[in-house]
Amino acid sequence: MTERYDSAAARHYAAYRPPLHRVILERVLRPGEFFQTGLDIGCGTGYSAVALTRYCGRVLGLDPSAAMLAAAPRHPGITYLHGSGDALGQLPVPAVEVVTFAGSLFYAKSGELRKELGRVCAPGATILVYDFEVFLDAAMAEAGVDQPAPTGDYDHQANLSGWAEFAVEVSGAERIQLAVSGNEMAHLLLADSNRYDAFLKRFPNRDPFEPLAGILNARGGAIPLPVGLYFTRYRVLGK
Ligand SMILES: C[S@@+](CC[C@H](N)C(=O)[O-])C[C@H]1O[C@@H](n2cnc3c(N)ncnc32)[C@H](O)[C@@H]1O
């Protein structure tokens, strides 16, 4: 079972994500680097698409979850598309110069996706695969849920290795520590449907956000949030 994003979880996903998309893009893109068109596959509620607008004239944000897209902010530089990485259809551009997968490649990776990337990418296009992992077990325990919901076989370091037409240019993994407020931590905890369900059990018959944020805010001060960052930049060969 991987993470689920139904409408309750999507609301909390949209309410707060750690500001790490920009941090990671600065590690894989050169200052001033600019692309005409970017495609963010698995854009969710738009955080990764918004981060990409800094480097692109136009961004296409694609996601199969209508609930996630409905929570994405309107942005003049972004066109949201409802769809999946394995069937990109006719994109409203002749070719894409940069593709991003921010926490989405694990879900999207398939033989069809590989073919679709070959079809829609411009010669020499850039593909950025990145993710971050927030370590929430301590906050779960503090909020009274000792058994974290199972995260299944999700792999934060899913990549394109074995697909020889994509050559690695930059790759890295880092551990950093952020500090978040009680409300921000509550949104993070409720942003996945499995954890949301665990907190519904802990606080039956009510919206779990308020009691959860109450517990986390009562400790006073910022809450440490350990985070793992993973990123790889590829160049599309042979086109
Ligand atoms: C962890 S979220 C990441 C969202 C966004 N990129 C971000 O950084 O906030 C993973 C997203 O991948 C999407 N997804 C799942 N299967 C997919 C597929 N086959 N193709 C494209 N996206 C997919 C999900 O709907 C979800 O919105």
Query: 67 in ligand 1 pocket by Cβ < 6 Å?
Result: no
pTM: 0.88
User: What are 22-50's pLDDT values in tens digits?
Assistant: 999 999 999 999 999 999 999 999 999 99
- Is pLDDT of 2 > 50? no
Work out the average pLDDT over 67-92: 96
The dihedral sign for the CA sequence 166, 5, 44, 90: positive
Assign 238 a pLDDT band (cuts: 50, 70, 90): confident
If you search the block for the tokens 């930059």, which residue do you land on? Answer: 170
Domains of the chain, with CATH numbers? 7-132+151-174+220-236 (3.40.50.150)
CA-41 nearest atom, ligand 1: 21
Nearest to 10 by CA among 81, 66, 79, 53: 66
pLDDT in tens, 9-22: 889 988 999 999 99
Alpha-helix residue ranges (DSSP H) falling in the chain? 7-15, 21-28, 47-53, 66-70, 105-108, 111-120, 137-142, 182-190, 193-202, 209-218
CB of 41 sitting under 6 A from ligand 1? yes
Per-residue model confidence (pLDDT) at position 152:
74
Ligand 1 atom nearest to CA at 84: 20
What pLDDT sits at residue 51? 98
pLDDT exceeds 90 at position 79 = yes
Residue 163 has pLDDT above 90, yes or no: yes
Residue 120, CA distances (Å) to 24, 90, 115, 231 in order: 24, 9, 9, 22
Confidence of residue 194 (pLDDT cuts 50, 70, 90): confident
Cβ of 233 closer than 6 Å to ligand 1, yes or no, is no
Q: Is 64 in the pocket of ligand 1 (CB under 6 A)?
A: yes
Q: Please determine, for residue 239, whether its predicted confidence score (pLDDT) is greater than 70.
A: no
Q: Is the CB of 47 under 6 A from ligand 1?
A: yes
Question: Which pLDDT value is given to residue 151?
Answer: 62
Distance 46 CA to ligand 1 centre (A): 10
Atom of ligand 1 at shortest range from CA of 42: 22
